[in-house]
A and B are shown apart, each in its own frame.
Chain A
């Protein structure tokens, strides 16, 4: 090399906000599927999933069986990591920072601090800045999303109501977040202080979001998506990608439904494609109306 070449520092840094948030950018336009074993993970990968979410029971079963639900068995997570080449995510209980430490040590690619599991701490979420692995968290509104980002979340998903197959809460939460973003970006600067107070989020983050009109991290949707049309609607409403939980492996033909939801997510704005992939999918998951679930049993109420 000639002496005129500028100096290049060779220090590589892991776990920066850019590296964590960047990972979520790579998932955009894709579908992340809940799987409970290696066989389901292979089906998801073959269908074109951008990542899989490893968990012990899908939300529909957690809801049906009750009890405390926790992080999955490390053997099961290892089995899924071995089985697929796409990223593997796993869930930790809200506030359970040791489950998160364990998941990081297993080498999962993203941790979902999830209301689908039984919360471990009813006051504090995990301090996600302490980890190299990135976190995704659920939110029902903008204030909740911004509090999670303040704690270090590198990706947000609207919560919806997991394990129902009822998309209505996913719609409500996505419309709420997007609506609050629009309102915030229309405010004059001198009203942002009160806006921060109302959102219960730090002023600096609120001011940044008001200026850019978007979250500083990727926004996916989750909770109740069961059909290709559900996924396409959530994308049209502004989701940057889709989590599908019980909707695939609680349906009649998981492989075909999974592939159909992937295609409908990419071509969400093309009704001809959504129509074509919606044909002959067999039974969708049975589903529960969110209205029939007593409020204390709604998972979206968890998180603060």
Chain B
């Protein structure tokens, strides 16, 4: 796979920023809103945004089951912030009945770092690759992980888990797409090339 085609789920959120970061990382990026478009991509990014809105739209426009099926089939997926919530097998502080795509054996607490006045940026070490500027916006954290999950980054306050990987699935609490540093997206594109 010389240049992988990676879809960005375009139901709601900061789609354009992920498209730009993926292209900078050497992938071909396309937007995906329908099951037919999902079939054409090698991998998927679930962007930042409002997870309850994405869930409702994914149900209404019949995307929940097709994405779950592709995940079960081994498609690589990366989710940032709301995208991390969408990849969690279990969520805390979700809206009543809130569903996710799932795939990563973890419990994610929604809005765990607090409201917008608590949103912050900080340097952290991502996957042993050195300092990375991370932007956290009403961000979730990972409360607990199962044994197949590898922890890639932690952040203050509280040394919380903020980046994880389980096989072809990657998730971050923070928004690398907002900083102009394509490090996390390059890491994901490498993952896609491996799978």
Binding site for B on A (CB under 8 A): 5-16, 18-19, 22-23, 25-30, 45, 47-51, 85-87, 104, 107-110, 132-134, 259, 262-263, 266-267
Chain A's nearest CB lies how many Å from the CB of B165? Answer: 19
Q: Chain A at the B interface: mostly helix, strand, loop or mixed? A: loop
Q: A45 to B52, Cβ gap below 8 A?
A: yes
Chain A residues in 8 Å Cβ range of B82: 26
Chain A residues in 8 Å Cβ range of B150: none
Q: B125 to A266, Cβ gap below 8 A?
A: no
Chain A residues in 8 Å Cβ range of B119: 14, 19, 22-23
Chain A residues in 8 Å Cβ range of B15: 28-29
Q: B57 to A9, Cβ gap below 8 A?
A: no
Which residue in A7, A27, A133 is a CB contact (below 8 Å) of B50? A27
In the complex, chain B residues 47-67 whose Cβ is within 8 Å of any chain A Cβ? 48-50, 52-53, 56-57, 60-61
Chain B's nearest CB lies how many Å from the CB of A174? Answer: 18
Q: B125 to A109, Cβ gap below 8 A?
A: no
Q: B135 to A18, Cβ gap below 8 A?
A: yes
Q: A267 to B13, Cβ gap below 8 A?
A: no
Chain A residues in 8 Å Cβ range of B155: 12
Knowing A8-B131, A26-B13 touch, does A18 contact B95 (C-beta < 8 A)?
no
Knowing A12-B156, A18-B179 touch, does A50 contact B49 (C-beta < 8 A)?
yes
Which of B71-79, B100-108, B109-117, B185-193 lies at the binding interface?
B109-117
Whole-angstrom CA separation of A267 from B94 in the bound complex: 25
Chain A's nearest CB lies how many Å from the CB of B99? Answer: 13
- B42 contacts chain A at the CB level, 8 A cutoff: no
Q: B121 to A12, Cβ gap below 8 A?
A: yes
Which residue in A5, A19, A49, A266 is a CB contact (below 8 Å) of B137? A19
Chain B's nearest CB lies how many Å from the CB of A251? Answer: 19
Chain A residues in 8 Å Cβ range of B122: 9-13
- B195 contacts chain A at the CB level, 8 A cutoff: no
Which residue in A14, A16, A27, A28 is a CB contact (below 8 Å) of B118? A14
Chain A residues in 8 Å Cβ range of B175: 22
Chain B residues in 8 Å Cβ range of A49: 53
Residue from the set A11, A13, A14 with the largest chain B CB neighbour count within 10 Å? A14
Inter-chain pairs besides A22-B14, A26-B82, 9 sampled, C-beta below 8 Å: A5-B130, A12-B155, A14-B119, A22-B119, A50-B50, A85-B94, A87-B115, A266-B11, A267-B61
Which residue in B33, B95, B121, B123 is a CB contact (below 8 Å) of A267? B33
Chain A residues in 8 Å Cβ range of B130: 5-6, 8
Whole-angstrom CA separation of A266 from B47 in the bound complex: 14
Q: B137 to A26, Cβ gap below 8 A?
A: yes
Knowing A30-B50, A50-B53 touch, does A85 contact B121 (C-beta < 8 A)?
no
Which residue in B33, B48, B56, B110 is a CB contact (below 8 Å) of A26? B48
Residue from the set B12, B52, B175 with the largest chain A CB neighbour count within 10 Å? B12
Q: B12 to A50, Cβ gap below 8 A?
A: yes
Q: B95 to A85, Cβ gap below 8 A?
A: yes
